[in-house]
A and B are shown apart, each in its own frame.
Chain A
Amino acid sequence: MSKFIIRRLVQLIPLLIGISLITFFVMHMAPGDPTSLFADPNIKPEELSRIRANWGLDKPVIVQYFVWLKNAAKLDFGYSYISGKPVIEEIFERLPATVLLMSVSFFLILLISIPVGVISAVRKGSLFDNLFTVLSFVFMSIPSFWLALIFMMVFSLKLEWFPPFGNLILPCAVMVISGLAGITRYQRASMLEVLGQEYIKVARAKGLPENIIIFKHALRNSLIPIVTLLGLSLPDLFGGAFIIETIFAWPGMGRLGVSAVFSRNYPVIMGITVLTALLIVIGNLLADIGYAMVDPRIRYAEKK
């Protein structure tokens, strides 16, 4: 197991290089550069070229990349073109807000969707199942930003229960409702699949009580794809919440990242990409470990 982990951590480095390389080149291919965004029309273009040179943007892209890489290896991610702040500081200032929103939403989603998914599967075809199935899909087909606006209109404007910004409850509610359906569906499908399998039938034939079958055997195995799903959901930590963050004026990473792309704020884009990549890989690693722990067959396969 530990060999496995070490191997994966070592693979991290070429992965990060690969990601940073692709990001760097794609961003530089995009038309425009950070100076295009100086909105004041009275700025003379010679000034813009001078500033571009100050930032080293007049050098060939590959040279710029290696300069960045060299610094990144020393954990120096440079300074934001917009605010002049060190990129790391810029990112870590916004990270807590996003992490807060995401983790609370995640937690609530899991809390609701796993039980609902399991019960739906166990009581397949019942009123509960059908009701929650339809509900899941309705929730899933509502675009999150539309839901956000409606919530704001209803709860902030009409009912005045919550202020339009500063509060965690409304954005969280939107994220939970939007994200609920997917995981519930997967959980249900996975549970159903597991329930239909040989060893469950065997367990039933053996006379094991239904509760034990469901909770000890079926549930554990049904969680496998869910674990994968959790690992996959990490990138959305930064991007997906962007629209919600904009509407609820939530000072998170999503807004920072998207505005960095629009303003070609290369240092910040690179910093966020690397950070995200790091988190993804770690997330996937944890997912795979969790996978291996939950599914004994895979564990044995690895041992072989």
Chain B
Amino acid sequence: MLKKNKLAIFGLIILSTLVLLAIFAPVFAPFDPNAILEDHIASPSMKHIFGTDDLGRDLLSRLLYGGRVSLSVAVIAVAVSLTIGILFGCLSGYYGGILDEVIMRFTDIMLSFPTIFLILAIQSVLTPSIINVMAVIGATSWMGIARLVRGEFLALKEREFVEAARAIGCSDLRIIFRHILPNSLPPVIVAGTLGMAGAILTESALSFLGLGVQPPMASWGNMLMDSQSYLLDAPWMAVMPGLVIVLTVLSLYFVGEGLREGLNPKE
């Protein structure tokens, strides 16, 4: 138990550090992230701690500014998907009946579009920009959450504590939000954590297809994309964004686990 808390705190520290670095990027970045400097494809050195990329831009600076972009995309996208997913899942799982049918049909329709196609199609219609990358990722990834929450509700609503709450005369809303939802949260939190990781990966996939964050603005995703051709020549171009992504995700996980323990209804 104590160990878990240690990991959670460790994760929290890493996460907050990354977030702070991202927010205060202008303070920490030694160079302008888009400035084309003298030496390109320079390996890490005193001048450029993480080296430079193929156009001679300092990688540390790009990582910091890219963090702002990637983290905000992940946070907002997941916020959107959680909101939509939980809402639909609750209503569907609790009330059942026609509402359930309608919501589930709609979820099915959304699910029937292969995500990539849907995002591609939407991005083809709109002009790619950070805002609509966030919106699009959020709007196409709530379905799993909805089904999960619905599943939990289906299982939980027949439980004794719900019967008891009903017997006391609690209103539906109260039952949903005060009683069932908190109990159904643990897998949702794990899902949310994975969702953020997924959002960062989806963003990099979108950048790969050119429909993500537009150049020359840096994001961890499009930095990975740029590094693609240089894996053998300049591995540091790929290692750093990849490493940062891994760190972020790991911390998210640890924090998520810690939260899950904390919210376990049986404590």
Contact = CB atoms under 8 A, between A and B. Distances in A.
Nearest to B157: A301
Nearest to A150: B231
Nearest to B4: A125
Contacts of A295: 155
Given A30-B124, A232-B144, A276 B228 contact: no
Contacts of A145: 205, 208, 228
Interface in A250-304: 254, 257-258, 261-262, 269, 272-273, 276-277, 280-281, 284, 295, 297-298, 301
A182 B151 CA distance: 18
Contact of B194 (A140, A228, A235, A280): A140
Given A15-B105, A141-B245, A235 B121 contact: no
Contacts of A193: 186-187
Interface in A148-200: 149-150, 153, 182, 185-186, 189-190, 193, 196
A257 B194 contact: no
B124 A19 contact: no
B164 interface: no
9 contacts: A22-B109, A137-B249, A141-B197, A141-B249, A143-B221, A145-B205, A190-B187, A235-B115, A254-B116
B190 interface: yes
B205 A15 contact: no
Given A142-B246, A273-B113, A276-B113, 7 more contacts: A14-B105, A138-B246, A141-B246, A141-B248, A232-B143, A237-B114, A257-B116
Nearest to B189: A189
B148 interface: yes
A243 B265 CA distance: 42
B112 A281 contact: yes
B112 A143 contact: no
Contacts of B253: 133, 137
B146 to A, nearest CB: 10
A203 to B, nearest CB: 17
Q: How large is the interface on B (under 10, 10 to 19, 20 to 34, 35 or more residues)?
A: 35 or more
B125 A280 contact: no
Q: Which of the listed residues B121, B143, B232 has the most CB atoms from chain A within 10 Å of its own CB?
A: B121
A100 interface: no
Contacts of B266: 196
Interface in B229-267: 231-232, 238, 242, 245-246, 248-250, 253, 260, 264, 266
A11 B260 CA distance: 38
B204 A143 contact: yes
Given A11-B105, A185-B194, A189-B190, A143 B115 contact: no
Q: Which of the listed residues B109, B114, B155, B232 has the most CB atoms from chain A within 10 Å of its own CB?
A: B114
Nearest to A284: B108
A18 B102 CA distance: 13
Nearest to A246: B208
A186 B256 CA distance: 13
B211 to A, nearest CB: 10
Interface of B: 3-4, 105, 108-109, 111-117, 120-122, 124-125, 143-144, 147-148, 151, 154-155, 158, 186-187, 190, 194, 197, 200-201, 204-205, 208-209, 221, 224, 228, 231-232, 238, 242, 245-246, 248-250, 253, 260, 264, 266
Contacts of B201: 141, 143-144
A297 to B, nearest CB: 6
Contacts of B260: 189
A235 B111 contact: yes
Contacts of A144: 201
B57 to A, nearest CB: 20
A297 B155 contact: yes
B107 to A, nearest CB: 9
Nearest to B200: A141
Contact of B112 (A14, A153, A189, A235): A235
Contacts of A32: 124
A189 B117 contact: no
Closest 8 CB pairs of A and B: A239-B114, A239-B116, A277-B112, A30-B124, A141-B249, A235-B114, A280-B112, A141-B246
A134 interface: yes
Given A29-B125, A196-B266, A295-B155, A143 B224 contact: yes
Contact of B116 (A29, A150, A240): A240
Contacts of B190: 185-186, 189
A143 B111 CA distance: 22
A10 interface: no
Contacts of B122: 26
Contacts of A137: 197, 246, 249-250, 253
B7 to A, nearest CB: 9
B244 to A, nearest CB: 10
A86 interface: no
Nearest to B248: A141
A103 to B, nearest CB: 17
A77 interface: no
Nearest to B250: A137
